[in-house]
């Protein structure tokens, strides 16, 4: 399942990979959004 989630992220994450989702969330917090 881990490999499947990496290749085809769950739509709950907005189709972003877990690593990309975390980076995006952190960037939004740092930018003050």
R_g of the chain computed on alpha carbons: 11
Indicate the number of domains in the chain: 1
Sign, Cα dihedral of 13, 15, 18, 24 = negative
pTM (predicted TM-score): 0.24
- Higher-scoring residue by pLDDT: 15, 23: 23
For 20, the domain range is 2-31
Q: What CA–CA distance (Å, rounded) separates 31 from 9?
A: 25
Which pLDDT tens digit goes with each residue over 3-19?
A: 555 555 555 556 556 67
The whole-number pLDDT of residue 29 equals 66
The whole-number pLDDT of residue 23 equals 75
Q: SS3 for 11?
A: helix
The whole-number pLDDT of residue 19 equals 74
- DSSP category for residue 15: T
């Amino acid at each position: 399942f881990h490999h499947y989630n990496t290749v085809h992220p769950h739509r709950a994450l907005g189709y972003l990979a877990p690593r990309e989702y975390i980076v995006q969330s952190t960037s939004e917090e740092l930018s003050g959004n």
